[in-house]
């Protein structure tokens, strides 16, 4: 692989990827203004940024590594290890805003169901009840 960035490897112009540093206070607002979340991470078991993007209603395009395969259901984005599949997914979401919005809604629903606060609190309540019997 050459020295080009991920955008170049996906066949996208670098200026479309908005590679800028944002302070925490503006990060989520800026993320929600984007058409999709690209998750090229290979080594993190399940990145918080992926879950944040899903909670924000962003469709996901991600490498099929670690826990991503379980965290991103098919209707919430595209998960693959094939660069051509990932490239086509990025291009598709950029070209079809309504499809991106619908996929983002599915991503949000999946994130809330599996990683939302009510599910988390229910799991803890259940565990505490089991441990105190």
Give the pLDDT confidence score for residue 15 in this predicted structure: 59
- 25-63 residues labelled b (16+ CB within 10 A) or e (exposed): eeeeeebeebbbbbbebeeeeebeebbbbbbbbbbbbbb
Structural domains in the chain? 6-131 (3.40.50.2000)
Q: How far apart are CA 49 and CA 54, in angstroms?
A: 9
Q: How far apart are CA 133 and CA 112, in angstroms?
A: 30
Residue 39: beta bridge partners?
62
- For the chain, which ranges sit under pLDDT 70? 1-22
The reported pTM is: 0.75
Q: How far apart are CA 104 and CA 75, in angstroms?
A: 9
Specify whether the backbone of 2 is left (phi greater than 0), alpha (psi in -120 to 50) or beta: beta
The SS3 of residue 62 is: strand
Give the pLDDT confidence score for residue 1 in this predicted structure: 40
Q: What is the pLDDT of residues 109-128, one digit of tens each?
A: 999 999 988 888 998 999 99
């Amino acid at each position: 692989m050459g020295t080009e960035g991920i955008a170049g490897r996906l066949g996208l112009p670098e200026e479309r990827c908005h590679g800028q540093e944002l302070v925490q206070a503006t990060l989520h607002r800026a993320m929600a203004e984007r058409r999709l979340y690209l998750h090229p991470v290979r080594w993190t078991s399940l990145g918080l940024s992926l879950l944040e993007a899903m909670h924000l209603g962003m469709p996901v395009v991600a490498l099929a590594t670690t826990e991503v395969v379980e965290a991103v259901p098919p209707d919430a984005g595209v998960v693959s290890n094939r660069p051509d599949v990932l490239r086509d997914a990025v291009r598709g979401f950029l070209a079809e805003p309504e499809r991106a919005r619908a996929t983002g809604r599915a991503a949000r629903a999946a994130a809330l169901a599996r990683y939302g606060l009510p599910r988390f609190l229910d799991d803890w309540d259940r565990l505490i009840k089991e441990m105190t019997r």
